[in-house]
Amino acid sequence: MDAPALPSLQDIQDAAKRVKGVAVKTPLMESIPLSLRLGARVFIKPENLQRVGAFKFRGAYNRLCQLTPEEKSRGVVAFSSGNHAQGVAAAAKILGLKAIIVMPSDAPVMKRDNTIAYGAEVVEYDRETESREEIAKNIAAKYGAVIVPAFEDFHVICGQGTVGLEIMEQGLEMAAEFDQFFSPVGGGGLISGCATAIKSMRPAIEIYGVEPEGFDDVRRSLAAGKIMSNSRHSGSVCDALLTHAPGPMTLSIMQKYVKSILTISDTEALIAVKYAWEKLKLVVEPGGAAALAALLSGKIDVRGKTICLLLSGGNVDAATFERAIKGP
């Protein structure tokens, strides 16, 4: 069997045309406080300012807007702890589609409530004892709905890749020649799309991903050269990054482009949430702040470099945000 085609720069540029005027073109911001602290020239791409508060809207809309009229009439189903759920729900509402979202019962209340507010139906499940994939498959079979994966999908990856395309275009306008790019990693859809765009436009840039400790399936998969899964499905404050394992497509892309995967603790993630609020004036969820956490905690020396870090989402519930602001 032939390997599936992987997204190209042209595919991502085509996706950018589809999401233009629908997704927010988030700013690229040079951070003086962070640059001084790290001894580097630091730029931030705040996807927490994206529609639904996370980059996920880009991939969801790029996938849904290409459904056939017949597929649209049957609706869509997705499974997610929150940000992909909101992205699919919002895209479905814009396009007039029915959406059913399978969400873990321990998902942040704000993410669940927002998903419902966009008009989607939510079906809850237990992360530890039930398979979200099986539940979604059964729903799709019952209604004939189209399953929209969170990351292992060609069009979803292309949509997420528009973040990287914007970074390179905005960096050019700001005379920033990036040496390194840092992104949070869950299943790998975001970093795969971004890396494809970034490395196609500037091959010398080093791509780094950041995962929570204990949920480093991508790091282990890259080291082993095959898909490795997490033994746990819950237990980290970085709920947005708790995927079971990367997919064949995202792993193939990451093997091609990603230099290294760093890991962070829950405490480091919460410290980054507090830093973003105090110094950057941005509200970011723990998983969305993973790349910032890795840099603040010195996981890699970036002195003298020009770097870009991605804040992938800002959907943090009040209790977690309060915990972060109060500090350890």
Write the DSSP symbol of residue 152: S
Alpha-carbon distance of 102 to 139, in angstroms, equals 9
122: exposed, middle or buried (Cβ count in 10 Å: 0-12, 13-18, 19+): middle
φ, ψ (nearest 5 deg) of residue 174 = -100, 10
Token reading at 21: 């005027």
| Residue 20 bears catalytic tag | no
The active-site residue out of 56, 111, 199, 274 is 56
Query: How many beta carbons lie within 10 A of that of residue 283, not counting itself?
Result: 19
Of the residues 81, 183, 221, 312, only one is catalytic, namely 312
Strand, helix or coil at 55?
coil
312 labelled catalytic: yes
Distances from the Cα of 277 to the Cαs of 111, 123, 217, 274, 281, in angstroms? 20, 33, 29, 5, 5
Helix locations, the chain, DSSP H: 9-19, 32-38, 56-64, 69-74, 83-95, 109-117, 132-143, 154-173, 189-201, 217-224, 248-257, 266-275, 290-296, 318-326
Please give the positions annotated as active site.
56, 312
